[in-house]
Structure 1
Amino acid sequence: MSYIHQLTEDEVYYICSVIPHKDIIRYFTKNPKEFAKIRPGFRANAISKHDVVNLLFNNRNRRFISLFIDKHIKNWLSQIKDQINRYISEGDNKEEAFLRTLPYSFFFKNVKLYFKLLEEKYSEEYISLLSVAVTSLRDMSKKQELSDNNIKELEIELEKLKADIISKDVELIKCRDELSSTRIAHVESINDQLSVIAELQATNSFELRALLALIFPIIFLNICKIENEQITGVYLVNLIIFIGGYNTEVIFGVLNKLVDMAKKAVNIPDKDAGIGLRSNEHEKNL
């Protein structure tokens, strides 16, 4: 039975538009000679969906194409019939079976075309109401499908977040252990350094006390004047040297002061002052 010749151009185009693209490409690929007649110089698997629909529609009267379209219509009607009968056998009435089947068929956008091909008489009002119901159920099904997909995507994202959290926890524990080990090592290092410093301090303290015990009598005898086992004064020069810490600048500075004081005491003029006096007298003579 040929279905294509019963259909208007719009109905044929609808059928061509809902045939799966992969089915068309497979059919053209299996029949390369016939395909070359309608699209020479092209590869079947390189044709887009839009072009392949137009290719079917424009060549619908060729036997190669009409057989392909009729075969799909026949298969679809057979599959719908089997599904409806199964629902009826489960206890649904015919309307319920239609509503459970047609929203998921290739005729969900054109229920009127389905009943035309079915060759069963139904009123226009019945078909219109059924079409509205099928469209609504299809939309609801799509929304539910999107919702289910969203839930699945959210579940996948949630699992990824859980995995990330576990990974971060592992990294945090690792960093905490490393930090703890570093702190312990640092504290141990500081304790070692403190122990060394304490030992050095103890050693230096002992050496310092020993040194003082050794040199103090010598310093005392060199600074203090002792007569008849009594301290009668100090040696000024020795005291200055001791206070200056044997610094030559300090020692020579003190000695120069003493020399200046002695010169003034005996009225010996400064070398610089003499030069100045001679210059003044020379000016007077001039």
Structure 2
Amino acid sequence: MTDLSGNIRKKFEQVQCLSDRLRQLGWASFTKPVRDRENLPRHVHPDTFEICCIASGNVEWWVEGQIYNAKAGDLFITLPGESHGGLNDIMNPCELYWAQIQLQADTGIGGLKPDELKTLKLELIDAQCRVFTGSAKIEQAFAFLISEHEKPDRFARAKVETTLAQLLIEVARACQAGHANQISPTIQRACDMINAAFNQPIRMEEIARELGLNLSAFYKQFAEQLHEKPTEYLTRLRIAHAKELLRQTDQTITQIAHASGYSSSQYFATIFKRSTGLSPRIYRKNVKTEG
């Protein structure tokens, strides 16, 4: 389904799913921020894990009152019974897959035996992973599940069960790795430099020079390891800081812009709305209303 803004969504509800384990399966591509009052308001899945795979862009959700940001290459998981939703019901520009999966271990899934499924389920719960780095295999498994649901044949149910088992195994492996996925000392140093000075003028050329890299090599290594450009990383830090100030203080928009590294409140407002779909003033009004 494509809306007037060019955003695309494919969603299969439980009665359409080709596995009894699936409560919902979907893929969406949002070219512009959208307020999604149908899917993002506060809700709970009593017996269901929800696994989201971010293919591009970034998303911002809350779970049990805590806010999380997931970027391209990340997985985001909510556990059964957790209250969750999209911050201010806004979906940022992004591409993502999701599956709501019931993991009761009375029977297996694909090649996973009941005891193996039980162990996997407990590992996901005990690890308390929320946002962590995924893999190409996970995104490929999601894409395959969508394609099988779009054009099912007489083998589709068996193929979906097998792929669902493979997906869960890869998610469990990624969860175990968690945030320990390898980031080179060079790129970690770049992140540390940006983190320390995000609210000041930053020139990526100077950071690259400090690291002993030319600019194109710096951008390439950063994007390969963190799935976003260093400028995108910087913007995320600045907008996250601005959101915190909008939620927790009564500073003016101009003060918050300067405290977040922007010399112009007008430019700050433009970047903020591009990232969140809301102006800083409307964002502040909404979070104070919800609080």
Both structures adopt the same fold (TM-score exceeding 0.5):
no
TM-score (norm 2): 0.19
TM-score (norm 1): 0.19
